[in-house]
């Protein structure tokens, strides 16, 4: 038994190293995109500027940015430095998931889930992004380990259970100050404690004891958020609710390098689906078979384990969807909190289908297909030329390569993209960066060339139409990755009137 456990631990350790290698290779190859620059901007701002940012954007919770502030102070503000912190959190989540899986389903199931997380194309994407999501999931797994300990230690004790769950409160509070979606996981933990047995009256005080202190600790930021309630994201609509879960499951299975998001990719969705149909079918079938088999396996565990797993798998998705008539909360990066529990079920199915016994060759087809699909999707991260983040570095290189005599004006729209463009733009006396705001005149001064940079699906004509007369378009180029960036050059052909 000890030898088997050592092998499992070796698999988990090897998978963790593999994730670090896959993550670090080419970590700085792609440009920062808007949200990553926002992370850097908040983390490196002065205290007053940081306070002002949180006042206007209270939905951006402070823990990740404070950690990133210390990290960049030591390692700098390059793309690699910014993203490497997320990669370390992603790697830490792998052994944590093994521990959670071991406690919920068994050692082999925990090891399988940990390896699936380490090699997940979806997880690799966020491991290489300078945002808070891997920290959020790592804290979610750790809090779940502690919540499960509390649920078990109080399960059969008539006096209400073991000592106070201080470590859980601390971990969950840190999670709440990372992203408000963590609250749905806390709700799932409390529900699991409440439903761990048929005696709801006896379980209710312990469930409140688990979740209420976290809510109290989060109360100041909740009040702050309510007082500075941000506007809704008007680009999110009903389709984000209707297709939120199917889209999330597809991304869980194949990541983002397959079916890559590019400028107006929805307009050619049919073409993309036809091109990727074999891979999609293989991925969907393999995941469905493994998940169904894993669900059967999980159903044979104890009531506490079944209740805990189902609560954490369902509630962090179901509750946001129920709240979506008031605020659209659907999104695969938010639903990422359920990824560990999804992989636990998937891992349980994987283990059962590959274990020795009659019909093993047939049973192993779905696991083999999963391995092949995962390998193909990981390879696509390096081989698919259409995959990538917003191409700000390429935009700036084009501007700097096509020099013209005299001052140059760079107009960026919408104005929220100014920071990420400025990150790459080598400011010189002849280059002036100016954000475009609707209704405001463009101050061309003595510029000899104007570069108009338009992104976030904004119609370029809205910006170019605001230029004064006397300017002629000489170049137009689309950098299509992610939301796309239009780069349009104008040269002066007549003096300003």
pLDDT in tens, 42-62: 999 988 888 888 888 888 899
Render pLDDT for 169-226 as a digit per residue (tens, 0 to 9): 999 999 999 999 999 999 999 999 999 988 899 999 999 999 999 999 999 999 988 8
Q: What is the CB-side half-sphere exposure of residue 55 using CA atoms within 13 A?
A: 6
What pLDDT band is residue 472 in, cutting at 50, 70 and 90?
Answer: very high
Per-residue burial over 117-130, b = 16 or more CB atoms within 10 Å of its CB, e = otherwise: bbbbbbbbbbbbbb
State whether 347 and 482 are in the same domain. Answer: no
Digit-coded pLDDT (tens) for 342-398: 999 999 999 999 988 888 889 899 999 999 999 999 999 999 999 999 999 999 999
Phi, psi for 279 (deg, rounded to 5): -65, -45
| Half-sphere exposure (Cβ direction) of 197: Cα atoms closer than 13 Å | 14
Cβ atoms 185, 314 nearer than 8 A? no
Phi-psi region of 351 (alpha: psi -120 to 50; beta: other; left: phi over 0): alpha
Output phi, psi for 411, to 5 deg.
-105, 130
Q: How many angstroms separate the Cα of 425 from the Cα of each of 8, 44, 129, 394, 479?
A: 49, 18, 21, 11, 16
The pLDDT value recorded for residue 159 is: 39
The answer to whether position 497 is within a domain reads no
| SS3 at position 212 | helix
Q: Where is the domain boundary, 327, 359, 383? A: 383
Domain assignment present for 201? yes
Cα–Cα distances (Å) from 489 to 28, 405, 450, in that order, read: 28, 14, 6
Q: Could you tell me the pLDDT band of residue 156, with boundaries at 50, 70 and 90?
A: very low
- Residue range(s) defining the domain that contains residue 420: 392-492
- pLDDT of residue 479 exceeding 90, the answer is yes
Confidence of residue 257 (pLDDT cuts 50, 70, 90): very high
Once rounded to an integer, what is the mean pLDDT over residues 447-457?
91
């963590």: which residue's tokens? 182
Q: Give 426's pLDDT tier (boundaries 50, 70, 90).
A: confident
Closest Cα to residue 125, out of 352, 305, 438, 336? 336
Beta strands 485-492 and 449-455 are antiparallel
366 and 421 share one domain:
no
**Among 80-84, 423-427, 437-441, the range of highest mean pLDDT:** 80-84
| pLDDT reported for residue 297 | 95
Mean pLDDT on 265-290: 92
Same domain, 428 and 364: no
Nearest-angstrom CA–CA distance, 156 and 167: 21
Q: Is 219 in a helix, a strand, or coil? A: helix
Sequence length of the chain is: 497
Q: How confident is the model at residue 234 (pLDDT cuts 50, 70, 90)?
A: low
φ, ψ for residue 310, nearest 5 deg: -70, -40
Report the domain count for the chain. Answer: 2
Residue 427: per-residue pLDDT: 66
Q: What is the pLDDT of residue 43?
A: 94
106 domain-assigned: yes
**Residue with the larger pLDDT of the pair 271 and 110:** 110
- If asked whether residues 423 and 372 sit together in one domain, one would say no
Given a cut of 70, whether residue 497 has pLDDT beyond it is: no
Q: What is the DSSP string of 136-202?
A: HHHHHHHHHHHHHHHHHHTTT-TT--SS--HHHHHHHHHHHTT-TTHHHHHHHHHHHHHTSSS-HHH
Residue 364 lies inside a defined structural domain of this protein: yes
Q: What is the mean pLDDT of residues 226-233?
A: 70
Has residue 463 been placed in a domain? yes
Statement to judge: residues 453 and 377 lie in one domain? no
pLDDT of 496 above 60: no
Tell me which of 351, 383, 415 is where a domain ends.
383
Rounded distance between C-alpha atoms, residue 451 and residue 467, angstroms: 11
Q: Is the pLDDT of residue 39 over 50?
A: yes
Q: Name the pTM for this structure.
A: 0.94
Same domain, 407 and 304: no
Cis check: omega of the bond before 439, within 30 degrees of 0: no
406 and 257 in one domain? no
Same domain, 364 and 434: no
161 has a pLDDT exceeding 50: no
pLDDT at 130 over 80: yes
pLDDT of residue 285: 97
| Local structure of 434: helix, strand or coil | strand
Please report whether residue 200 resides in a domain.
yes
- Answer yes or no: is 422 within a domain: yes
Contacts of 88 (CB under 8 A, 6+ apart): none
**158: confidence class by pLDDT, cuts 50, 70, 90:** very low
Alpha helices in 30-78 (DSSP H): 34-44, 47-56, 62-75
**For the segment 67-104, what is each residue's pLDDT rounded down to a tens digit?**
999 999 999 999 999 999 999 999 999 999 999 999 99
> Which of 5, 341, 8 has its CA nearest to residue 148?
341
Last residue of a domain, one of 383, 403, 425: 383
Same domain, residue pair 362 and 397? no
Give yes or no: residues 371 and 239 share one domain: yes
For residue 159, give every residue at least 6 positions away whose Cβ sits within 8 Å of its Cβ, in sequence order, or none.
Answer: none
Regarding whether 377 and 278 lie in a shared domain, the answer is yes
The reply to whether 75 and 113 lie within a common domain is yes
What is the DSSP code (8-state) at residue 388?
Answer: -
φ and ψ at residue 418, rounded to 5 degrees:
-60, -40
pLDDT value at 157 more than 50: no
SS3 at position 495: coil
Distance CA 465, CA 161 (A): 69
């Amino acid at each position: 038994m000890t030898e088997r456990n050592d092998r499992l631990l070796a698999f988990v350790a090897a998978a963790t190293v593999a994730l670090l290698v896959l993550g670090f290779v080419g970590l700085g190859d792609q440009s920062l995109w808007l949200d990553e620059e926002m992370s850097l901007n908040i983390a490196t701002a002065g205290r007053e500027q940081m306070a002002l940012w949180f006042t206007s954007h209270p939905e951006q919770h402070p823990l990740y940015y404070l950690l990133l502030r210390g990290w960049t102070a030591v390692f700098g503000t390059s793309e690699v430095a910014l993203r490497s912190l997320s990669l370390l959190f992603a790697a830490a989540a792998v052994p944590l998931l093994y521990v959670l899986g071991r406690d919920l389903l068994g050692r082999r199931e925990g090891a399988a889930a940990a390896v699936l997380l380490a090699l997940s194309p979806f997880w690799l994407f966020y491991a290489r992004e300078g945002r808070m999501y891997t920290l959020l999931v790592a804290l979610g797994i750790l809090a779940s380990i502690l919540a499960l300990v509390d649920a078990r230690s109080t399960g059969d004790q008539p006096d209400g259970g073991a000592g106070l769950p201080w470590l859980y409160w601390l971990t969950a509070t840190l999670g709440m100050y990372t992203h408000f979606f963590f609250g749905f996981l806390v709700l799932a933990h409390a529900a699991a404690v409440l439903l761990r047995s048929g005696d709801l009256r006896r379980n209710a005080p312990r469930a409140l004891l688990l979740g209420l202190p976290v809510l109290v600790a989060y109360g100041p930021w909740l009040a702050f958020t309510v007082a500075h309630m941000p506007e809704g994201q008007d680009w999110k609509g009903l389709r984000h609710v209707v297709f939120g879960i199917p889209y999330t499951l597809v991304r869980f299975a194949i990541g983002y390098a397959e079916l890559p998001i590019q400028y107006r990719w929805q307009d050619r969705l049919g073409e993309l689906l036809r091109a990727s149909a074999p891979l999609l079918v293989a991925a969907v079938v393999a995941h469905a078979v493994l998940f169904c088999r894993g669900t059967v396996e999980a159903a044979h565990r104890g009531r506490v384990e079944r209740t805990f797993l189902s609560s954490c798998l369902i509630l962090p998705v179901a509750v946001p969807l129920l709240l979506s008539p008031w605020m659209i909360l659907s999104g695969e990066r938010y639903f990422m909190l359920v990824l560990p529990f999804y992989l636990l079920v998937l891992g349980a199915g994987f283990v059962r289908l590959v274990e020795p016994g009659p019909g093993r060759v047939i049973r192993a087809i779905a696991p083999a297909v999963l391995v092949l699909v995962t390998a193909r999707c990981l390879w696509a991260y390096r081989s698919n030329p259409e995959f990538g983040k917003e191409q700000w570095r390429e935009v700036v290189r084009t501007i700097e390569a096509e020099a013209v005599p005299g001052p140059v004006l760079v107009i960026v729209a919408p104005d929220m993209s100014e920071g990420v463009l400025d990150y790459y733009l080598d400011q010189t006396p002849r280059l002036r960066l100016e954000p475009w705001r609707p209704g405001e005149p463009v101050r061309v001064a003595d510029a000899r060339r104007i570069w108009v940079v338009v992104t976030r699906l904004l119609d370029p004509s809205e910006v170019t139409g605001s230029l004064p007369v006397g300017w002629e378009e000489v170049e137009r180029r689309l950098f299509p990755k992610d939301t796309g960036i239009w780069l349009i050059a104008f040269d002066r052909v007549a003096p300003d009137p």
